Structure formats: structure tokens, C-alpha cells
């Protein structure tokens, strides 16, 4: 299996790049943010629980997102591989993911980390907020909170995967096509 953690702060372009990669490599896209927004749209208990946390720009509890990922992995045992987008976001999530994949006799192949500086991220997210309709894109202090959550709780995962010799850092500034080419080169060289 080809299992990719597409990593980076909010606004780094993970969603856009995931769409291009799933088509090229026939992978399943697993975005915990998209799944949670789907639960909110359905009005499920999980969605109701997550909405206020997400609107503040805080992280949803680990056990909630880990359970979501586990059930999707178990339903897709025949997949060629997965792109994890927005997951894992904490060390506990990364450890659980390693254990879940090991139970399925597979593992993370690589972490592709998109690097973009904080000011550029804020600019991109405020711009996206004009059309995304997302409460967490609409307000600069919530955006700053999301970036802060990333820097404190999520960025340390680069070291987690670096220790496993799986980290590849990619400059996340440039055109969509340029960044996509760099990601494909990194995957094809594996």
C-alpha cells in the first residue's frame, strides 16, 4: 500500500493537492476536517459535539477522530492506499494510526510536509473565507488560534516521522501545478 501523510498547517494547500494525488495514484482521501464538516451538515450527535470546538479553531478530542479513521480504514481493506489529510494532528493520533495500520499489516510510507510561513497562511485563509462559508476561516483571531494549535500540538509530528526516516519537506509556495510536481517527484522517488 502507498500510505501518505500529507502534512502542513491550515491553508498550506493539503486539500487541493490531495485531490490531484488521489486521481494520479488511485488512493483514498481521508480528511478528518471534511468528515467532521459532513457530520455537522447531517446534524449528527458527533457533528453537534464538534461544531463549537471547530468554530473556535481548537482541536477535536483525539478519541473522536481516531474512531472515525479506524472505521473508515476497516471498510477499505482492498484500497491501494490512503492520503491522510489533517490527520494525525497530535502524537497520540500518530501513535494510534501506526498501531491501526500495523494491525492491517501496513504502515505509513511517507510524510510529505508542505512548508508555508504564518503570514502567508493567514492571508490565504482570510481569502478562502470569502467563499468557503467556514466560520473558522472568517475571523483573523480564530485563524491565528488554528495556526497556534498547529505550531504547538501538530508541528512536533515532523520529528515523530523524521525519527522513522519518513519525513520529506516540500516548499508549499508556488503554483498548484509546481507544488503538485514536487509532491509527485517525492512519491515517485520512494
Query: Would you name the residues annotated as active-site residues?
Result: 14, 89, 128, 134, 146
Residue from the set 36, 121, 143, 170 that interacts with ligand AMP by CB under 6 A: 36
For position 150 contacting ligand AMP by CB under 6 A, the verdict is no
Residue written as cell 510561513? 117
Q: Yes or no: say if 113 and 14 are a contact pair by the CB < 8 Å rule.
A: no
Residue nearest to ligand AMP (CB): 33
**The 3-state secondary structure of 126-150, one letter per residue:** HHHHHHHCCHHHCCHHHHHHHHHHH
Give the number of other CB atoms < 10 A from CB of residue 45: 9
For position 13 contacting ligand AMP by CB under 6 A, the verdict is no
For position 66 contacting ligand AMP by CB under 6 A, the verdict is no
Q: What is the DSSP letter of 137?
A: G
Q: How far is CA 51 from CA 30, 61, 97, 105, in A?
A: 19, 12, 24, 34
Residue from the set 89, 157, 167, 179 that interacts with ligand AMP by CB under 6 A: 89
Q: How far is CA 22 from CA 5, 128, 140, in A?
A: 12, 22, 31
- The smaller minimum CB distance to ligand AMP, of residues 157 and 170, is found at 157
For position 84 contacting ligand AMP by CB under 6 A, the verdict is no
Residue from the set 86, 157, 179, 187 that interacts with ligand AMP by CB under 6 A: 86
What residue ranges bind ligand AMP (CB under 6 A)?
A: 10, 32-33, 36, 53-54, 57-60, 65, 86-87, 89, 93, 136, 146
Amino acid at each position: 500500500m502507498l500510505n501518505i501523510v500529507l502534512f502542513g498547517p491550515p491553508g498550506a494547500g493539503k486539500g487541493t493537492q490531495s485531490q490531484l494525488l488521489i486521481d494520479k495514484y488511485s488512493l483514498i482521501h481521508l480528511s478528518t476536517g471534511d468528515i467532521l464538516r459532513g457530520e455537522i451538515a447531517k446534524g449528527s450527535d458527533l457533528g453537534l459535539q464538534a461544531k463549537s470546538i471547530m468554530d473556535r479553531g481548537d482541536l477535536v478530542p483525539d478519541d473522536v477522530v481516531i474512531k472515525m479513521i479506524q472505521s473508515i480504514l476497516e471498510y477499505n481493506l482492498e484500497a491501494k492506499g490512503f492520503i491522510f489529510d489533517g490527520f494525525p494532528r497530535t502524537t497520540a493520533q500518530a501513535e494510534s494510526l501506526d498501531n491501526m495500520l500495523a494491525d492491517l499489516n501496513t504502515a505509513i510510507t511517507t510524510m510529505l510536509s508542505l512548508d508555508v510561513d504564518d503570514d502567508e497562511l493567514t492571508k490565504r485563509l482570510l481569502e478562502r473565507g470569502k467563499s468557503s462559508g467556514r466560520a473558522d476561516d472568517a475571523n483573523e483571531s480564530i485563524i491565528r488560534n488554528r495556526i497556534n494549535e498547529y505550531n504547538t500540538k501538530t508541528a512536533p509530528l515532523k520529528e515523530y516521522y523524521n525519527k522513522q526516516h519518513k519525513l520529506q519537506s516540500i516548499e508549499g509556495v508556488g503554483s498548484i501545478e509546481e507544488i503538485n510536481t514536487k509532491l509527485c517527484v517525492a512519491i515517485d522517488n520512494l
